[in-house]
Chains A and B, each alone.
Chain A
Amino acid sequence: MALSFMEGNEALARGAIAAGCNFFAGYPITPATTIFNNMLKMLPPKNGICIQGEDEIASMGYCIGASMAGKKALTATSGPGISLYSEQISFAIGSEIPLVIADVQRLGPSTGSATRGADSDIQFLRWGNTGGVPVIVLVPTNAMDCYVLAVHAFNYAEEFRCPVFIASNKEIGMNKESFDMDSITLPPIVDRTLYTGNSYLPFKAEDDKAPAFLPIGGKTLVRQTSSTHGPNGYITIDPDTIEKNQERLRDKIHKACNRITLFEEDIKENSDTLIISYGVTSRAVTDAVKILGNRGKSVSTLTLKTLWPVPEELLKQKAKTFKNIVVIEMNLGQYVNEIQRVLTDKKVKFYGQMNGTLISPAKIMEVIENE
């Protein structure tokens, strides 16, 4: 067996390449810069394009333009960059522009700590757009996940015509580790559906689907707009048209929720405690549960790799038989609110930490043993 050795950011870049990404624009920012560095090495030999924007807003603009010309575009940043991306994220959501955005999270708020990790942006990624339209957010636990989830992210972006976030973390992005690339089976590549008829309306779609795509610059004229639009891509003020479109933007994501729910579980029959976690924290949870198991305390785990849309059915189904639900997060309590909202009949216990260091297995054991 051969092991490959790379940091999460390199793995994410390799996943993007495997997904068919052929355009990257970004602006340097710790701890996301090495995604940019890697794409700059990997794209030119594959005839892809990689450029540095004059700022984060521009980087997103380049990606939007390139995506509308038919490219599979990636950008990467950290919290302060997501702040600047926000207006363009809203554009990409509302106007159904496929994009993948890697957010290698650092400790916030604001410029925060460039080289300290935290899962700072979990609610921000969901709600950092005007209009409140749902987004897809995937979360890796390690470098291998970065590789695999990048492919899922592109597939979802293409299918649902929306920005898809990969909420990485400094502790994954800049942590170098070994994994067996040969053991990985990547999902089949999905490309956006191209329109094949002869009366193209750029935003005409089934009620819960994304519209078929045609590129700007192709034989058929395409209109793209950030304004509230009807199926023809022109501004509309017709309430019915607006409402139908808004609902479709929501439904295309929500109705596919179960299908895009990625997770890992370790459910033990004789345990009454379920720890729900995500991201780098899940690794410490796994270690803690192993040690507790050796000491005779059986604890189950659910590791979420899709945070948005909230996998409500999964949460209800997995939590059902457990007396104690514990959520551990590398922030002061963001996603726990969603879990408590879904698990109305459970009292959800929470531990969060936001001090620039990883939550240790010892801390998690302490939380569990004090149940």
Chain B
Amino acid sequence: MNNDLNTYLNTYLNKGRPLVYCPGCTHENITKALDKTFAKLNFEADKTVIVTDIGCSGLFDTFFNVHALHGIHGRALTYASGLKLANPDLNVIVTMGDGGLGIGGAHVLASCRRNIDITLIVLNNFNFGMTGGQYSFTTPTDAVVGSEFLNRAEIPLDICAIAKSAGASYITRCSGLDKNLDEKMAKAIEHKGFSIVETLGMCTGRYTKRNKLTPKVIDQTIEKLEQYSGMIEENQRPEYGKLYRELAREKTSFPEPVTLEKQFDFKNYQRQEVVILGSAGMRIVTAGDIVCYAGMNAGMNVSIKNDYNITVLRGQSVSEILIDPQKIGYTGIESPTIVLALSDEGVQRRQYIFADLSQNTFVLKEKSVSIPETKAKVIEIDFKKLKIKKQDWALASLGVLAKNEKALNKDMLESAVKLRFNEKVSKIAMETINKIL
């Protein structure tokens, strides 16, 4: 690679890498125009990157003495976006054919929507040149291409119209042979935001062999289509990177981990396996967290596994908690020491555990909940009668545990509640718990 900046003061083209396009291919004109564009903009080579993907448009990066990234079909805009976000000073130019446009459609839409400061030069020559002239997203229905009859059953898309509806802030469509192409590309690149230049051109190796497509036909085609010559007024807005950095700058507080000091000595603490069986909306996960905090308050190791539906407002919510003076290995529940049965849905989810519960298991059951037969001693509580709302049953049941010194005591619970919630919420939570204590 020739890195000597002085050797290409007038051209960014790499003298050691002559153009290799088929004779008459429009890509050649576009390559030369892009070189003039860079000169016109007085770009510094080391602040410029050409990003390409697969196909003849993917040859572009090899002809220039600028930074280059050549990647996978249709994905050029993804690399380009990563580069631009990582280094906002870079001039990022992407070349992509009509093939890349199709396979990478999601990335074109995302780039338009984001308005990231990248220029996409589309080299639309109406077919996949490199693989045999197959039809692409832009092949006319009546064209004769290398896909037998398939293109006759589909319609081509207008990338400029799509880009506009997707939020592109700058769109130009012109012939790849346009005598002002360098100027048009320069303006697009200068635009602060996502810009597209769709060039229409001839693939002489494939497409024009069987289709009448001349420079004049291209001009006529463009005239018949909606005109795009730059700024899209209704899509003007701040550039993505700039806006992103402004928004991110407001986020100054790094979230430190939850770290709890041992505060209490719970003499002869035995390993606890706690299962809370409830439903969505009953704050089961939060109650599980509080049990863990309480355990950590006593210097114990803890582990919690939650099981709830992806539709988070419906269905069961089950927490399985281990509290152990020893390091916790297996995180599953083997022999529960405590079961809080707070909803039928939750019980049904784990109904298989009840048959094997030992006599020593502490089962707390809300009056309205049905549980399968069990050897364990079952304590029933009527939270409704105590005027405790369903959403507080899990929290209140921790009060029952504290009262019975099961897994935690009053001090541990109160301390855990204070650590888990802010002052206001913990006061309300303690009011609920105190109805039990």
Contact = CB atoms under 8 A, between A and B. Distances in A.
B62 A25 contact: no
B412 interface: no
Interface string A210-237: 0000011111111111110000111100
B75 interface: yes
8 contacts: A3-B259, A44-B249, A61-B79, A64-B79, A176-B303, A280-B331, A283-B330, A358-B332
Contacts, number: 239
A293 B251 CA distance: 52
Interface centre among B254, B289, B300 (most CB of A within 10 A): B254
Interface of B: 1, 3, 17, 45-47, 49, 51, 61-62, 65-72, 75, 77-87, 89-90, 106-107, 109-110, 244, 248-249, 251-255, 257-262, 289, 292-293, 295-296, 299-307, 310, 328-332, 334
Interface in A317-363: 357-358, 360-362
Interface centre among A25, A171, A234 (most CB of B within 10 A): A234
Given A5-B296, A57-B75, A221-B66, A175 B254 contact: no
Given A223-B69, A361-B330, 5 more contacts: A1-B262, A62-B81, A175-B305, A219-B46, A287-B329
A220 B3 CA distance: 7
Contacts of B304: 175-177
B78 A6 contact: no
Given A4-B257, A280-B331, A361-B329, A225 B81 contact: no
A88 interface: yes
Interface in A11-50: 14, 23, 25, 30, 38, 41-42, 44-46, 49
A60 interface: yes
A62 B70 CA distance: 14
B72 A71 contact: no
Given A54-B109, A70-B86, A361-B330, A60 B78 contact: yes
A114 B86 CA distance: 32
Nearest to B81: A62
Nearest to A218: B46
A45 to B, nearest CB: 4
Contacts of B249: 44
Given A70-B86, A224-B70, A5 B110 contact: no
Contact of A61 (B46, B81, B296, B331): B81
A272 interface: no
A65 interface: yes
Nearest to A362: B334
Interface centre among A6, A64, A87, A362 (most CB of B within 10 A): A64
B82 A65 contact: yes
Contacts of B292: 5, 176, 178
A10 interface: yes
Nearest to B2: A221
A88 B72 contact: yes
A76 B243 CA distance: 25
A217 B257 contact: no
B331 A177 contact: yes
Contacts of B255: 38, 41-42
A70 B89 CA distance: 14
A178 B303 contact: yes
A170 to B, nearest CB: 10
Given A91-B72, A177-B303, A221 B262 contact: no
B83 A178 contact: no
A314 B257 CA distance: 36
Nearest to B330: A284
A178 B301 contact: yes
A322 B81 CA distance: 54
A178 B302 contact: yes
Interface string A77-88: 000000000011
A177 B258 CA distance: 11
A64 B328 CA distance: 38
B128 to A, nearest CB: 17
Contacts of A284: 329-330, 332
A65 B259 contact: no
Nearest to B322: A177
Contacts of A216: 49, 67-69, 83, 87, 90
Interface residues of A, number: 81
A41 B93 CA distance: 31
Interface string A107-141: 00000001100000000000000000000000000
A215 B69 CA distance: 11
A64 B307 contact: no
A69 B78 contact: no
Contacts of B257: 4-6, 10, 14, 181
A64 B295 CA distance: 43
A157 interface: no
Contacts of A66: 82-83, 85-86
A115 B66 CA distance: 47
B45 to A, nearest CB: 6
Closest 7 CB pairs of A and B: A65-B82, A61-B78, A69-B86, A44-B251, A54-B110, A287-B329, A62-B82
B72 A65 contact: no
A238 B77 CA distance: 30
A148 interface: no
Contacts of A218: 46
A68 interface: yes
A25 B85 CA distance: 11
B310 A115 contact: yes
Contacts of A14: 257
Contacts of A73: 82
A219 B3 CA distance: 9
A285 B89 CA distance: 53
A200 interface: yes
Contacts of B299: 1, 3
A65 B79 contact: yes
A339 to B, nearest CB: 22
B86 A71 contact: yes
A33 B183 CA distance: 45
Nearest to B307: A115
Contacts of B301: 3, 177-179
Contacts of B109: 54
Contact of B334 (A60, A70, A174, A360): A360
Contacts of B47: 217
B24 to A, nearest CB: 24
B82 A4 contact: no
A231 to B, nearest CB: 10
B330 A49 contact: no
A58 B62 CA distance: 24
A15 to B, nearest CB: 12
A87 B259 contact: no
Contacts of B65: 221
Contacts of A68: 69, 79, 82-83
